[in-house]
Chains A and B, each alone.
Chain A
Amino acid sequence: MMGLIVEILSWILIVSGGAFTLIGAIGTLRFPDFWSRLHAASVSESAGMILLIFGMCLQAGPTLITVKLLIIGAFIIITGPTSTHAVASAALTSGETPESDEDTRKSQEGKS
């Protein structure tokens, strides 16, 4: 009985983690410019990653694999934002200035 509950819970986590990863990918395609795409990608990076790691931990049970998964999760939580910041900072330095919301509204009204 306990095993069944853990199994169901872990698959809920894995499937929803996969869904968030997919949503992040969809957002990366749909969003209009570089800066908003960075935000979309961070959905797969945070929600997708955390849910998948926890789901896989439940699948692995109390083994060394769970320890490794948690260590991987901790590393991604530190390196993910750091690399996102590196990309954003590099973009700003090389002259990719973000559009202000004001300009965006005007251009969207122009298109529609």
Chain B
Amino acid sequence: MLRTILTALTLFALWLLMSGIYKPLIVWMGVGSSVIAVYVVRRMDNAADTERLAVRLRPLTTIGYWFWLLIEIAKANWAVTKLILSPKMNLNRHLFKVPYTQKTDLGQTIFANSITLTPGTISVEVEEGDFLVHAVSYSGDDMDALSDMDRRVAAIESAGA
């Protein structure tokens, strides 16, 4: 029950931020739409007996990880930009396997999305224990950089998960 009320309040807060018009009629429509949205979600929860997505991450480590990732994205962008603008495009395309050590689905998703978010590497396919990763200018360092990223993503998962 607490979870339902919190969801409705979060949705309503989001609605207030998006709307920007605070006339009584409009605000009541916002209240109504968040209540209807929560009702529909509850019904869908009952209809499909899937597991709920549990978000278990260390908050501070996660924020630190995002800053680190932002710097990685900047570096990788610069590398790919140089590659695009160089007259001779010295591509070294390669498809290789990267092992992942995250235990939760969310952790694996964050790792795979981080790989794709940094230009130059794209996670193509998920296999048992490995991601298939495509790189545009592959070098031996890529493997080390990716296992470093893997370690950092595994570190933001909380121990209980």
Contact = CB atoms under 8 A, between A and B. Distances in A.
Partners in one complex: yes
Interface of A: 20, 23-24, 26-27, 30-33, 35-36, 38-40, 42-43, 46-47, 50, 64, 67-68, 71, 77-78, 80-82, 84-85, 88-89, 92, 98-101, 104
B138 A26 contact: no
Contacts of B83: 27
A111 B115 CA distance: 33
B60 interface: no
B136 interface: yes
A104 B91 contact: yes
Nearest to B73: A46
Interface string B73-84: 110010011011
Interface of B: 17-18, 20, 70, 73-74, 77, 80-81, 83-85, 89, 91-95, 112-125, 132, 134, 136, 138
B73 A100 contact: no
A31 B89 contact: yes
A92 B93 contact: no
**Residue among B81, B85, B93 with most chain A CB within 10 A:** B93
Given A30-B89, A31-B89, A85 B122 contact: yes
5 contacts: A26-B85, A27-B84, A30-B89, A46-B118, A100-B95
Given A42-B116, A42-B122, A80-B117, A47 B73 contact: yes
A88 to B, nearest CB: 5
B93 A64 contact: no
A64 to B, nearest CB: 5
A68 B15 CA distance: 11
B91 A36 contact: yes
B99 to A, nearest CB: 18
**Residue among A78, A98, A99, A104 with most chain B CB within 10 A:** A98
Contacts of B138: 101
Contact of A43 (B20, B80, B113, B132): B80
A39 B124 contact: no
B105 to A, nearest CB: 13
B73 A68 contact: no
A106 to B, nearest CB: 13
Nearest to B20: A64
Contacts of A77: 117
Nearest to B135: A39
Contact of B117 (A33, A35, A46, A99): A46
A20 B77 contact: yes
B84 A101 contact: no
